[in-house]
Structure 1
Amino acid sequence: MTDIEVTGIGKRFGTVDALTDVSFSLSGNKIYGLLGRNGAGKTTLLSIMAGFERQISGTVLIDGEPVFENGAATTKLCLVRGEGDAAVASVTVGELLGYGARLREGWDAEYAAELLDTFELAPGKQAKELSQGKRCALGVTIGLASRAPVTIFDESYLGLDAPSRYAFYDALLADVLAHPRTVIISTHLIEEVAKLFEDVLILDHGKLLLHEEADTLRAAGSAVTGEAALVDSFTLGLEVLGERTLGRTKSAMVYGRLDDRRRAQAREIGVDLEPIALQDLFVHLTSGGAR
């Protein structure tokens, strides 16, 4: 089990503060979701955590060891960043996997070969000749097969088509269950990936807005569904994030916990209550009004 301690991280580019006093702890073999709007600082934070960039303030510790320029710590990390990382000089897919085997103590060559078949990647193909989608597939293959104690996917699968993305999600979940480790996923496809998250971190304008268990976060709101007039009556006075209507049926997303009395009322009048969609809650929390 690998522990990550991030304390007071700050980063500035020119006159712009990319990160301000970001602190959190990650422990246990979990899948973490890192969410944030464009420019929130997600990629900068992950690059610092992986030792690719130096922060101007604060510390990042992996099992108590600083990450930057510390090989003992960075060997525990694997950061996969988009399709660009695979767009390298004249090396083949197989050669790149060979580099991974030499650099990663836990590398699983047999599993890597299985993933090549899953994503239809030819070992003899030049990496620079791959399409964007295939480069993304190569990146996630390296990330999964590395079996690094901390594996980070920074929107590295967004170039995959839908069937390949779902194949990646299935492979990730199955492999983490079989070989527990810490996984961090940065994504804009929140609803598509949300079912994988055990904990969620949200960055907003370079600051950590929250760090919470995914189930607890979903319970912070409810989707109220039923006959439109009944839904309108039930949600009167509540903070409604959004509504959807289909014929006489309506679903309203409300923010705030509902107590036992309100839940009993929902049963009595015949409206259904379900946990709120994580994406709806994210949009609300990162909007100007919510801040």
Structure 2
Amino acid sequence: MTAVIEVHNLTKHYKDKNALDNVSLDIDGGAIYGLLGRNGAGKTTLMSILTAQNFASSGEVRVFGEHPYENTSVLSRMCFVRESQKYPDDATPRHAFKAARLFFKNWDQDLAERLIEDFQLPLKQTIKKLSRGQLSAVGVIIGLASRAELTFFDEPYLGLDAVARQIFYDRLIEDYAEHPRTIILSSHLIDEVANLIERVIVIDNGRILLNEETDAVRDRAVTVIGDAAKVDAWAVGREILHRESLGRVASVTVLGHLSAQERANITASGMDLAPVSLQQLIVRLTQKAGAENGASIAGVPAGNQEVR
């Protein structure tokens, strides 16, 4: 596949902190990406720079092979849906959709009207008087109905209840299946979006920890549960993401793919295997990265630090 986004050594510095720290990655076209990480990890900063709404301190960005800043031919092919989107005081959802229809060449009015009905959105109410969920619905409708070649959703579900979030996920998958494009979905509700995304990008403290296919990520770790002595003996020499114990029983989550024979040996020795969800894996990876980063700063072995 052809890369629609190319990022090389991207850094964004704010006062005494790097929001992005020497980030490099390529994003291929025609897939749904999950840009995952904790609040403040750098997700919004990265998307803002990619969509020319912010400036990098250093590094290079190319979108569709060109620099995006003040580049109409690039910007007209992108849609960035963000929770903090501002509208004129007297604007209504109807005004917002009319403007979007003029800007996005692939705009689908039938889809927009269907989504308006799905979300029960009042069209004549001024946007500044909408609830937080209704405001999120305005962004979701624009993002989906735009059918832009490259669409960014930055935490689009904020304010949406569980039913409305599921409507968004269902409509996203339905429309993507009929009209493939590149979608980047930023979220910290990892389990909710796990079945939507085809590739996972994990960012933490401004650094990319992971950029892989979702199915490959799920196979990267496993949890072994059983007698603490047996579990600890089995885990020797393996990369441990997390360990916890209760009495004589322990569980350890380790990185690495296990063969069928290894799994059979674990079961035969009286221990149990448990899958690691995408959310569990990403939480453990970011905890491990945070502990290692703290160790490098403080000079304290990471294993002696408590992760909260």
Flag whether TM exceeds 0.5 (same fold).
yes
* Alpha-carbon spacing, 1:119–1:265, altered in 2? closer, same or farther (3 Å): same
Is there any run of 5+ residues in structure 2 with no aligned partner, and where? 294-308
CA–CA separation in structure 1 for the residues paired with 2:234 and 2:66? 51
2:180 is the counterpart of 1:180: yes
TM-score, normalisation: structure 2: 0.84
Look up the SS of the partner of 1:258 in the other structure: coil
**Residue of structure 2 in register with 1:135 after alignment:** 135
**Residue of structure 2 in register with 1:204 after alignment:** 204
Instruction: Report if aligned partners of 1:152, 1:183 keep a CA contact under 8 Å in 2.
Output: yes
CA–CA separation in structure 1 for the residues paired with 2:180 and 2:193? 18
**Residue of structure 2 in register with 1:47 after alignment:** 48
Aligned residues: 284
**Residue of structure 2 in register with 1:289 after alignment:** 291
- What RMSD in Å do the two structures reach over aligned CA positions? 2.5
TM-score, normalisation: structure 1: 0.88
Matches within 5 A, 1:136-285: 136-224=136-224, 233=230, 236-238=233-235, 239=240, 241=242, 253-266=253-266, 268=268, 273=273, 275-285=275-285
**Residue of structure 2 in register with 1:62 after alignment:** 63
The letter for the 2-side match of 1:200 is V
Deviation of 1:197 after TM superposition, in Å, equals: 1.4
The letter for the 2-side match of 1:27 is D
CA–CA separation in structure 2 for the residues paired with 1:152 and 1:232? 48
| 1:154-181 Cα deviation digits (max 9, x unpaired) | 1121211011111111111111111000
Deviation of 1:54 after TM superposition, in Å, equals: 1.6
| 1:106-136 Cα deviation digits (max 9, x unpaired) | 1001100000001000222221111001101
CA–CA separation in structure 2 for the residues paired with 1:290 and 1:157? 32
Deviation of 1:219 after TM superposition, in Å, equals: 0.6
2:115 is the counterpart of 1:115: yes
* Alpha-carbon spacing, 1:168–1:242, altered in 2? closer, same or farther (3 Å): farther
Deviation of 1:289 after TM superposition, in Å, equals: 3.1
CA–CA separation in structure 2 for the residues paired with 1:289 and 1:2? 33
Deviation of 1:254 after TM superposition, in Å, equals: 3.9
CA–CA separation in structure 1 for the residues paired with 2:113 and 2:43? 31
Deviation of 1:233 after TM superposition, in Å, equals: 4.2
CA–CA separation in structure 2 for the residues paired with 1:80 and 1:272? 44
CA–CA separation in structure 2 for the residues paired with 1:128 and 1:104? 23
2:68 is the counterpart of 1:71: no
Deviation of 1:60 after TM superposition, in Å, equals: 1.7
2:97 is the counterpart of 1:105: no
Deviation of 1:16 after TM superposition, in Å, equals: 2.2
**Residue of structure 1 in register with 2:94 after alignment:** 94
CA–CA separation in structure 1 for the residues paired with 2:20 and 2:105? 32
CA–CA separation in structure 2 for the residues paired with 1:12 and 1:259? 44
- Identity between Structure 1 and Structure 2 (%): 40
Instruction: Report if aligned partners of 2:107, 2:146 keep a CA contact under 8 Å in 1.
Output: yes
* Alpha-carbon spacing, 1:118–1:41, altered in 2? closer, same or farther (3 Å): same
Instruction: Report if aligned partners of 2:241, 2:285 keep a CA contact under 8 Å in 1.
Output: no
Deviation of 1:98 after TM superposition, in Å, equals: 0.3
Deviation of 1:211 after TM superposition, in Å, equals: 1.1
Look up the SS of the partner of 1:123 in the other structure: coil
Instruction: Report if aligned partners of 1:53, 1:68 keep a CA contact under 8 Å in 2.
Output: no
Deviation of 1:217 after TM superposition, in Å, equals: 1.2
The letter for the 1-side match of 2:119 is F
Instruction: Report if aligned partners of 1:243, 1:253 keep a CA contact under 8 Å in 2.
Output: no
| 1:208-227 Cα deviation digits (max 9, x unpaired) | 222111111111112457xx
